[in-house]
Amino acid sequence: MRDFSSPPALGAPQDGWAQTRDRVETYFDRTATQVWERLTSDAPVSKIRQTVRIGRDAMRAQMLARLPQDMRGLRVLDAGCGAGQMTAELAARGAEVMAVDISPAIIDLARRRLPESLVPHVSFHAGDMLDPALGMFDHVMAMDSLIYYTEADLARALDALAARTESTVIFTVAPRTPLLMTMWRMGKLFPRADRSPSMVPQSSARLLRALRYAGSTCSLKPLERVTSGFYISQGMEVLG
């Protein structure tokens, strides 16, 4: 889950997965819930946030295009489900969806928005997407929910998710681009309280090396990059 209410903050936090996860939970539960609710609705927003909506819609469509139209009998993890747009699309295809987000407030929002006809196909869980108790899946979708983690933590997370997935793991990262770095510098002008948790820019080559260092045999397939205003995101698919 990613907040675009202000220019993104980039960094390379030295703490581990759990510390970063807890910081993201605190931000979305205590600071950004109302902003996120508005951004992911049909309510009027600024021109900048409208471009973010357009970018997120494009990325979600690209990720969903990698999956079958008929998903009856398939179990899917929506890892970092946010307000539940991806969850609803998956359930509409007939998938049994485990919708997980670290923020209980955001999970409540996704639950309220889910059409009643899709409720039987979705289980909601507030917690860590890497929890092994969640079980095995046919597919994993992680849109803008892994962008805060260091290269090493991200590689270990992808390897853990791939080990519990029969088919595809599709996720997004914040790519290191000149435009994104310019936005990061602009973000430094904002008060710290107005910034989202620090993103960690990634490249497929470096991330693949990190996977190998972690002992993973998985490979990565970059998808089409989406750039729309303040939304810059690179989709990737884990193969192996």
Would 217 be classed as within a structural domain? yes
The per-residue pLDDT string of the chain (240 residues; one tens digit each, 9 = 90 and over) reads: 334 333 333 333 345 888 888 888 777 766 666 676 676 777 777 888 888 889 999 999 999 999 999 999 999 999 999 999 999 999 999 999 999 999 999 999 999 999 999 999 999 999 999 999 999 999 999 999 999 899 999 999 999 999 999 999 999 999 977 666 666 566 555 545 444 567 788 999 999 999 999 899 999 999 999 999 889 999 999 997
Cα separation of 17 and 103, whole Å? 15
**Type of residue found at 42:** D
Q: Is residue 103 part of a domain?
A: yes
Q: Is 6 part of a structural domain of the chain?
A: no
Residue 202, SS3 per DSSP = strand
How far apart are the C-alpha atoms of 193 and 107, rounded to whole Å? 23
Alpha carbons 196 and 33: distance in angstroms, whole number: 12
pTM metric for this prediction: 0.85
What's the domain count of the chain?
1
Rounded-to-integer distance, Cα 148 and Cα 173, Å: 9
Helical residues (DSSP H) of 77-137, grouped into ranges: 85-92, 104-113
Distance of alpha carbon 62 from alpha carbon 5, whole angstroms: 23
CA–CA separation, 56 vs 175, rounded Å? Answer: 15
| CA–CA gap between residue 78 and residue 43 (Å, rounded) | 24
In a domain, 203, yes or no: yes
CATH number of the domain encompassing residue 219: 3.40.50.150
Task: State the pLDDT at residue 193.
Answer: 47
Residue 165 pairs in a beta bridge with 137
Q: Note whether residue 125 is domain-resident.
A: yes
Residue positions counted in the chain: 240
Note whether residue 7 is domain-resident: no
The answer to whether position 5 is within a domain reads no
- Tell me what pLDDT residue 1 has: 39
pLDDT of 5 reads: 37
* Domain interval for residue 214: 17-239
Residue 1 belongs to a domain: no
- Does residue 119 sit in helix, strand or coil? helix
